[in-house]
């Protein structure tokens, strides 16, 4: 069974590209446009991986990450954070809150696929 | 003593006025001869004594007037004087 | 008219009364309840300036020169006007340094020099000699007038009554005795003679009242008031010139200058004004009260002079005696007696103070330094010297009066009172350069002062004193004319050919010229030694010194308390020393009995104590005999002193500065906070810009890679992805331009192409540009423009940018299909207003200000998505504000919003 990926991102074009890449890599893809929508999606069905943008409306990426990590039921869900803010602090913060990896925008599609594979295994 | 400066300037100004008033050029103006009298007094005499009195009044007003805005300086000076006297 | 015995009884009675007052004054002073501690007594004591010269001589001078007697009183008035600077400074210096005479003052200023002190004393004694003789002459003349004037007296001369047959000598001896009783009863450190001051003040009252009594009698008794008196005088041809400046002009300025100097520098004036001053604040009243006294005593001089001239037209009566002669001629015995007592007051007052002042100087500055130089006298080891001191002073008093008498006998008979007095004034004026220079100029040196004083004095002797001897026949008269050894060039009344001046002016000019010239020149040419520099600083900066503590630090020498006490006792007697020491100990709160080593301050205290008795220079010598190790590095001391003398000035300035600093600190703190805020903002700005740039870049890169990696993509998908890349590239470009624009505007390097812009066409163009965007989302756009053109001054492109920003924002925030946007242009008298209204979600109140800030992104009310780059409104605001306008938003959340901006219209009739 294909691994499921939840893309949480508010920029429509980036959503589009992520969706394309993940599908091409063989994952099952769902999309959420803000923090609340993301949590709802996770509650509905916990995905294997969340590609979580930090700068999203309503509840930001850190918040979402922390919430998911505080619930033992979602232990199996991996989280890769995406951000356009390239500062080291942000990266540290993300990892400290329980993210499994951290990718800076703009990213290389190959590298993204590679990292995703490392975190959750092939689709 | 910057605090005193205005009064100091006034004192010097009074001195200059006095010097001018009591010396020949201005005196000659009032040197009208024995026939010019005011209240039965020769003008020259009257002028000299009145100018003299006026100068004294001005100096008195200036020196005796309570100072504004220099209280601190004054208090300081009198404290100093007191120290001096004590040590005597 | 008056029996001789009555005159004698009255005179002695009066002198006895004076003595009683003095005795009472001293007793009260000893009991610590001074009767002279008020400014009025102080002022009256200064009136010792008015001597027989004033009492008798002024009338004499007025009778020959009209108002020519007045400069002698106008000068002091002028000097007292400046008293707040000059006198106060001299008084303060003298108090701090226990200065006891003018000689002490000058010697102390120029490095505690014995030589200078002695010189000043010699000049003072010789210079004052004529003045004292004047008093003797006046008193003896007044006796003679009373006793021997047959024309006035009615009775035949009763000269046999006088056993001595020489009134002047008798008067001189009497006065000497009187002065000794007054001034040298004991030795006091402060050299205050409270009893004497009280007596002098009393004398000033008596002489004023006596003179006024005579004046009023003459004016209103003999004549019918001022008017009558002056009218009668004006009718006499010989008297008419006295009512003009004609006879007064000569020497008027000279006399004024002389009197200005005399009021401070005559030894007796220095004594009463400076030494006897017990409270500096008394000066405040004296500054105007003393001139008032002078005015009062002079009011009747002219009336008495004219009265005398009218009453004794034949010139048989000496005008100097009018004050007595007039009441005598009018048969007013009691008024005569009162006038006589008044004249006696004037003379005795002067003689007492002058001799006491001079005897102090002779003792402290002439005799003691000499005695201290003779080791065989063992003066420094003698048990009690105070008796010796008193003896010296008493001897000096007798000597001074005998000198005065001698001058009177040799010369006095042939001169008028005023002329004699002026010779003394000219001598006193010699002190002016050294003292004025000394208190206002730090550069004056001991050598300079010595040179100036001696040169000035020698010229005075040559041009005034010696000629007076010659005129009296004690020198060959050829000395005056044609000049010594027949050299015209050296004629004493026309030195170096300077003719045409009166003798006094001539002498004053030359003596002050060489005096001041030598003082300045020698001072500038030479150098000060350390003690001179110290004293110069201490004197000139007297008002800027923190007190005695600094001076005390100068002493590094050591001495035992017992030694110091013993030293002081030798000069002042055990009682007074004990008093002074216990007082000092009480003030400084230490136990003298337990204290072995004296500290620097105590050493200073004793030196000043001694200085009060034997003068600064001698005190220094005496201290050196007790204090060991005094020869410390004086240069070092100088440094300390310099430092100390500026501490006050600094602290005053510091106070002001610290206030200013506090303010500055507050400002700085505020500025710093703002900077920090700005820094934070900048950081955030950078971070946000980064984010905004990376977002489109992410899409571009992703789709580029997708396209690159998937050559077999379907055509329409390919087209879609490429379009995204293009759009995102455009977005990136736009963003970069916006950031650049904003930066340019913020740094002021934006180039504005200012021109007249028709706002109407700007809106029309903007609408045309954006119509496709509106169509895409099916948002209705209504345009409300006035008919006529609306011209303002601005940059067309930038204005266009503002309108486009507002319109595209409105478009973005409206819901598709139902959205309605209206753009309106209103032309007011002062402003053009452009409004863009939409029916979108509106802007929350809390955001209405912030949306104009950088990167403040308004979140989509529905989705919570941020909308726009966050720079558009910021740039719009910058543009509008740069053009002098304002941009704002009116909005009710849920009911749409209206963004408006207005630009001022040019005042000229351009539109």
Q: Report domain extents, chain C.
A: 4-69+134-415, 546-632, 648-743, 755-904
Out of C144-158, C580-594, C659-673, which region has the weakest mean confidence (pLDDT)?
A: C144-158
With CA atoms as reference, the chain B residue closest to C292 would be B56
Q: Where are the beta strands (DSSP E) in C540-609?
A: 559-560, 597-598
By Cβ distance, the residue of A20, A87, A104 closest to C687 is: A87
Question: C45-95, pLDDT tens digit by residue?
Answer: 999 988 888 888 889 888 888 888 888 899 999 999 988 888 888 988 888
On the question of pLDDT at C900 being above 60, the answer is yes
For the segment C531-537, the average pLDDT, to the nearest whole number, is 77
The tokens for A32 are 């959420």
Q: In whole angstroms, what is the distance from residue C410 CA to residue C404 CA? A: 10
Residues ≥6 apart with Cβ < 8 Å to C611? C97, C98, C99, C100, C104, C108, C619, C620
For the segment C606-629, the average pLDDT, to the nearest whole number, is 69
At C454, the pLDDT band (50, 70, 90 cuts) reads very high
Contact C766, C836 (CB under 8 A): no
On the question of pLDDT at C344 being above 80, the answer is yes
Provide the CATH number for the domain around residue A116: 3.40.50.2300
Task: Give the closest-approach CA distance of C864 to chain A in angstroms.
Answer: 5
Number of Cβ pairs < 8 A linking chain A and chain C:
75
Helices C194-216/C322-329 angle, 10° precision: 50
Predicted pLDDT of residue C413: 66
Task: Provide the mean pLDDT of chain C.
Answer: 80
Touching subunits of C (3+ CB pairs, under 8 Å) are A, B
Task: Write out chain B residues lying below 8 Å of C274, CB-based.
Answer: none
By Cβ distance, the residue of C67, C547, C587 closest to B48 is: C67
- Reference C514, options C503, C524, C522, C526; nearest CA is C522
On the question of pLDDT at C107 being above 60, the answer is yes
Residue C683 burial (10 A CB sphere; 0-12, 13-18, 19+): exposed
Residue among C684, C688, C705 with most chain A CBs within 10 A, to mutate:
C705
User: What are all long-range contacts of C844-850, with beta carbons under 8 Å and residues at least 24 apart?
Assistant: C844/C893, C845/C893, C848/C889, C848/C891
The owner of tokens 């010239």 is: C517
On the question of pLDDT at C293 being above 90, the answer is yes
At C250, the pLDDT band (50, 70, 90 cuts) reads confident
The owner of tokens 């060959």 is: C476
For the segment A86-101, the average pLDDT, to the nearest whole number, is 79
- CA contacts within 13 A on the Cβ side of C746: 12
Q: What angle do CA C739, C809, C677 make, to 5 degrees?
A: 45
Task: Give the closest-approach CA distance of B29 to chain C in angstroms.
Answer: 10
Q: In whole angstroms, what is the distance from residue C309 CA to residue C233 CA? A: 8
Question: C16-47, pLDDT tens digit by residue?
Answer: 898 888 888 888 877 777 777 888 989 999 99
By Cβ distance, the residue of C74, C226, C547 closest to B52 is: C74
Residues ≥6 apart with Cβ < 8 Å to C814? C777, C779, C820, C821, C838, C839, C840
Length of chain A: 123
Residues ≥6 apart with Cβ < 8 Å to A97? A62, A65, A66, A69
Q: C559-560 and C597-598: which strand pairing?
A: antiparallel
Residues of B with CB under 8 A from a CB of C: 1, 8, 11-12, 14-15, 18-19, 22-24, 27-28, 31, 33-35, 37, 39-42, 44-45, 48-49, 52-53, 55-57, 59-60, 63-64, 77-78, 80-81, 83-88
Touching subunits of A (3+ CB pairs, under 8 Å) are C
Task: Give the closest-approach CA distance of B16 to chain C in angstroms.
Answer: 9
Q: In whole angstroms, what is the distance from residue C371 CA to residue C377 CA? A: 7
- CA contacts within 13 A on the Cβ side of A54: 25
At C552, the pLDDT band (50, 70, 90 cuts) reads very low
Contact C734, C868 (CB under 8 A): no
Q: In whole angstroms, what is the distance from residue C239 CA to residue C309 CA? A: 8
Question: C668-715, pLDDT tens digit by residue?
Answer: 888 888 888 777 777 777 777 777 788 888 889 999 998 888 888 888
Residues ≥6 apart with Cβ < 8 Å to C82? B11, B12, B15
Phi and psi, residue C437, nearest 5°? -60, -40
At C516, the pLDDT band (50, 70, 90 cuts) reads very high
Alpha-helical (H) ranges within C491-560 are 503-525, 530-540, 548-553
Task: Give the closest-approach CA distance of C2 to chain B in angstroms.
Answer: 35
Length of chain C: 911
Residue among C37, C40, C78 with most chain B CBs within 10 A, to mutate:
C78
Q: In whole angstroms, what is the distance from residue C146 CA to residue C363 CA? A: 38
Out of B47-61, C102-116, C414-428, which region has the weakest mean confidence (pLDDT)?
A: C414-428
What total of structural domains would you count in chain A?
1
- CA contacts within 13 A on the Cβ side of B63: 25
Q: C820-827 and C780-784: which strand pairing?
A: parallel
* ipTM higher than threshold 0.85: yes
Cα–Cα distances (Å) from C871 to C275, C554, C736, C813, in that order, read: 84, 73, 11, 16
Fold of C648-743: Helix Hairpins (1.10.287)
Residue C245 is given by DSSP the state: S
The owner of tokens 């009256």 is: C44
Residue C10 is given by DSSP the state: H
Task: Give the closest-approach CA distance of C583 to chain B in angstroms.
Answer: 9
By Cβ distance, the residue of B18, B40, B81 closest to C78 is: B18
- Quote helix, strand, coil % in chain A, to nearest 5: 45, 20, 35
Task: Give the closest-approach CA distance of A106 to chain C in angstroms.
Answer: 4
How many percent of chain C have pLDDT more than 90?
A: 8
- Reference C262, options C97, C454, C383, C128; nearest CA is C128
In which element (H, E) is residue B66 found?
none
Torsion of CA C865, C871, C877, C880, to 10 degrees: -120
Does residue A59 belong to the interface with chain C, where contact is any CB pair within 8 Å? no
Contact C701 A33 (CB under 8 A): no
Going residue by residue through chain B, which has 88 residues, state the pLDDT in tens, using 9 for 90 and above.
444 567 788 888 888 998 888 888 888 888 777 777 778 788 888 888 999 999 999 988 888 876 554 444 444 344 334 334 333 3
With CA atoms as reference, the chain B residue closest to C605 would be B87
Phi and psi, residue C246, nearest 5°? -50, -50
Predicted pLDDT of residue C217: 92
Does residue A20 belong to the interface with chain C, where contact is any CB pair within 8 Å? yes
For the segment C859-866, the average pLDDT, to the nearest whole number, is 43
Q: In whole angstroms, what is the distance from residue C15 CA to residue C422 CA? A: 28
Contact C710 A24 (CB under 8 A): yes
Contact C295 B23 (CB under 8 A): no
Length of chain B: 88
Cα–Cα distances (Å) from A29 to A3, A7, A82, A120, C699, in that order, read: 9, 7, 16, 14, 18
At C652, the pLDDT band (50, 70, 90 cuts) reads low
Touching subunits of B (3+ CB pairs, under 8 Å) are C
Residues ≥6 apart with Cβ < 8 Å to C179? C351, C352, C355, C356, C359, C397, C401
Q: C897-904 and C831-838: which strand pairing?
A: antiparallel
C755-904 CATH: 3.30.565.10
Predicted pLDDT of residue A69: 86
Predicted pLDDT of residue C296: 92
Q: In whole angstroms, what is the distance from residue B16 CA to residue C568 CA? A: 48
Q: In whole angstroms, what is the distance from residue C108 CA to residue C116 CA? A: 9
On the question of pLDDT at C861 being above 70, the answer is no
Distance of CA C9 to the CA centre of its chain: 51
At C628, the pLDDT band (50, 70, 90 cuts) reads low
On the question of pLDDT at C624 being above 70, the answer is no
On the question of pLDDT at C192 being above 80, the answer is no
Cα–Cα distances (Å) from C625 to C110, C619, C629, C690, C810, in that order, read: 22, 10, 10, 88, 103
Predicted pLDDT of residue C642: 52
By Cβ distance, the residue of C226, C249, C253 closest to B41 is: C226
- CA contacts within 13 A on the Cβ side of C429: 31
Task: Write out chain B residues lying below 8 Å of C306, CB-based.
Answer: none
Contact C690 A84 (CB under 8 A): yes
Q: In whole angstroms, what is the distance from residue C309 CA to residue C60 CA? A: 10
Q: Given phi > 0 = left and psi -120 to 50 = alpha, else beta, which region is C699?
A: alpha
Q: A78-83 and A101-104: which strand pairing?
A: parallel
Residues ≥6 apart with Cβ < 8 Å to C475? C466, C469
Rg (CA), chain A: 13
Q: Report helix, strand or coil for B41.
A: strand
For the segment C211-229, the average pLDDT, to the nearest whole number, is 89
Does residue A72 belong to the interface with chain C, where contact is any CB pair within 8 Å? no
In DSSP terms, which residues pair with A104 in a beta bridge?
A83
Task: Provide the mean pLDDT of chain A.
Answer: 85
Cα–Cα distances (Å) from C840 to C106, C565, C724, C812, C833, in that order, read: 96, 103, 27, 9, 21
Predicted pLDDT of residue C520: 92
Contact C230 B40 (CB under 8 A): yes
- Reference C464, options C516, C517, C518, C428; nearest CA is C428
Q: In whole angstroms, what is the distance from residue B78 CA to residue B80 CA? A: 5
Rg (CA), chain B: 19
């Amino acid at each position: 069974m294909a691994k499921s990926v939840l893309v949480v991102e508010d920029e429509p074009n980036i959503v589009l590209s992520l969706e394309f890449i993940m599908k091409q890599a063989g994952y099952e893809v769902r999309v959420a446009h803000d923090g609340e929508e993301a949590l709802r999606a996770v509650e509905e069905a916990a995905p294997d991986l969340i590609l979580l943008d930090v700068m999203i409306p309503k509840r930001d990426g850190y918040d979402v990450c922390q919430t998911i990590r505080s619930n033992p039921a979602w232990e199996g869900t991996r989280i890769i954070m995406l951000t356009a803010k390239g500062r080291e602090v942000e990266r540290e913060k993300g990892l400290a809150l329980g993210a499994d990896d951290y990718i800076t925008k703009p990213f290389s599609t190959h590298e993204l696929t590679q990292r995703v594979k490392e975190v959750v295994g092939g689709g | 003593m910057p605090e005193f400066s205005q009064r100091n300037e006034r004192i010097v100004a009074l001195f200059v006025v006095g010097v001018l008033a009591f010396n020949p050029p201005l005196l000659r103006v009032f040197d009208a001869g024995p026939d010019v009298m005011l209240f039965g007094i020769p003008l020259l005499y009257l002028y000299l004594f009145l100018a003299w009195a006026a100068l004294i009044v001005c100096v008195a007003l200036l020196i005796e007037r309570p100072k504004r805005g220099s209280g601190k300086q004054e208090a300081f000076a009198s404290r100093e004087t007191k120290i001096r006297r004590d040590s005597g | 008219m008056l029996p001789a015995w009555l005159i004698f009884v009255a005179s002695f009675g009066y002198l006895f009364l004076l003595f009683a007052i003095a005795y009472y004054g001293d007793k009260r002073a000893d009991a610590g309840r001074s009767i002279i501690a008020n400014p009025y007594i102080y002022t009256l004591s200064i009136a010792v300036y008015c001597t027989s010269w004033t009492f008798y001589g002024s009338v004499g001078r007025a009778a020959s020169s009209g108002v020519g007697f007045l400069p002698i009183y106008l000068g002091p008035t002028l000097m007292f006007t400046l008293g707040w600077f000059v006198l106060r400074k001299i008084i303060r210096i003298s108090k701090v340094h226990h200065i006891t005479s003018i000689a002490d003052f000058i010697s102390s200023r120029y490095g505690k020099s014995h030589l200078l002190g002695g010189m000043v004393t010699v000049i003072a004694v010789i210079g004052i000699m004529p003045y004292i003789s004047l008093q003797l002459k006046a008193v003896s003349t007044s006796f003679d007038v009373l006793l021997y004037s047959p024309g006035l007296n009615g009775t035949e001369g009763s000269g046999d009554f006088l056993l001595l047959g020489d009134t002047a000598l008798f008067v001189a001896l009497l006065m000497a005795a009187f002065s000794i009783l007054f001034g040298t009863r004991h030795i006091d450190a402060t050299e205050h003679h409270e009893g004497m001051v009280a007596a002098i003040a009393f004398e000033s009252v008596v002489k004023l009242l006596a003179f006024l009594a005579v004046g009023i009698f003459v004016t209103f008794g003999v004549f019918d008031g001022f008017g009558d008196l002056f009218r009668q005088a004006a009718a006499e041809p010989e008297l008419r010139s006295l009512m003009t400046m004609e006879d007064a002009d000569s020497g008027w300025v000279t006399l004024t200058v002389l009197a200005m100097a005399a009021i401070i520098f005559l030894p007796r004036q220095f004594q009463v004004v400076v030494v006897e001053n017990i409270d500096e604040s008394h000066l405040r009243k004296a500054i105007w009260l003393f001139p008032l006294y002078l005015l009062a005593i002079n009011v009747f001089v002219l009336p008495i002079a004219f009265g005398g001239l009218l009453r004794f037209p034949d010139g048989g009566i000496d005008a100097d005696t009018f004050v007595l002669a007039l009441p005598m001629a009018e048969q007013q015995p009691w008024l005569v007696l009162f006038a006589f007592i008044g004249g006696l007051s004037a003379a005795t007052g002067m003689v007492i103070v002058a001799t006491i002042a001079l005897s102090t100087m002779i003792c402290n500055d002439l005799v003691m330094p000499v005695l201290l130089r003779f080791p065989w006298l063992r003066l420094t080891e003698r048990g009690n010297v105070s008796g010796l001191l008193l003896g010296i002073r008493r001897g000096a008093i007798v000597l001074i009066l005998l000198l005065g008498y001698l001058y009177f006998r040799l010369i006095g008979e042939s001169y008028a009172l005023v002329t004699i007095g002026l010779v003394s004034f000219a001598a006193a004026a010699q002190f002016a350069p050294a003292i004025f220079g000394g208190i206002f100029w730090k550069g004056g040196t001991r050598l300079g002062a010595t040179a100036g004083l001696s040169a000035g004095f020698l010229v005075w002797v040559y041009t005034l004193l010696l000629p007076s001897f010659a005129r009296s026949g004690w020198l060959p008269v050829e000395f005056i004319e044609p000049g010594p050894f027949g050299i015209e060039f050296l004629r004493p009344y026309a030195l170096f050919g300077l003719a045409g001046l009166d003798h006094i002016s001539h002498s004053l000019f030359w003596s002050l010229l060489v005096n001041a010239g030598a003082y300045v020149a020698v001072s500038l040419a030479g150098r000060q030694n350390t003690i001179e520099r110290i004293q110069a600083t201490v004197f000139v900066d007297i008002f800027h010194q923190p007190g005695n503590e600094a001076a005390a630090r100068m002493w590094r020498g050591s001495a035992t308390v017992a030694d110091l006490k013993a030293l002081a006792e030798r000069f002042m007697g055990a009682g007074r020393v004990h008093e002074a020491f216990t007082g000092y100990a009480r003030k400084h709160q230490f136990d003298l009995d337990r204290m072995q080593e004296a500290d620097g301050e105590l050493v200073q205290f004793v030196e000043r104590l001694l200085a009060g008795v034997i003068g600064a220079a001698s005190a220094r010598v005496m201290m050196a005999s007790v204090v060991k190790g005094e020869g410390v590095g004086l240069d070092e001391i100088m440094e300390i002193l310099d430092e100390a003398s500026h501490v006050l000035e600094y602290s005053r300035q510091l106070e002001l500065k610290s206030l200013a600093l506090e303010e500055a600190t507050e400002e700085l703190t505020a500025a710093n906070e703002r900077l920090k805020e700005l820094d934070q903002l900048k950081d955030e700005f950078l971070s946000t810009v980064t984010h905004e740039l990376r977002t489109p870049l992410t899409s571009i890169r992703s789709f580029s890679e997708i396209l690159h990696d998937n050559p077999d993509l379907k055509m329409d998908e390919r087209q879609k992805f490429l379009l995204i890349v293009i759009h995102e590239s455009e977005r990136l470009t736009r963003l970069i331009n916006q950031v650049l624009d904003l930066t340019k505007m913020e740094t002021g390097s934006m180039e504005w192409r200012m021109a007249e812009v028709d706002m109407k066409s700007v809106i029309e163009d903007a609408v045309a540009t954006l119509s496709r965007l509106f169509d895409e989302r099916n948002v209705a756009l209504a345009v409300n423009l006035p008919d006529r053109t609306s011209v303002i001054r601005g940059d067309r492109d930038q204005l266009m940018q503002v309108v486009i920003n507002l319109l595209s924002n409105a478009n973005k925030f409206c819901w598709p299909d139902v959205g309605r946007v209206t753009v309106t242009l209103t032309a007011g008298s002062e402003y053009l207003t452009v409004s863009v209204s939409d029916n979108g979600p509106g802007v929350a109140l809390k955001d209405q200000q912030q949306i104009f800030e950088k990167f403040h992104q308004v979140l989509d009310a529905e989705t919570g998505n941020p909308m726009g780059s966050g720079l558009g409104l910021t740039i719009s605001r910058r543009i509008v504000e740069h053009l002098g306008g304002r941009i704002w938003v009116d909005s009710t959340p849920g009911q749409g919003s209206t963004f408006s901006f207005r630009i001022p219209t040019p005042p000229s009739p351009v539109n």
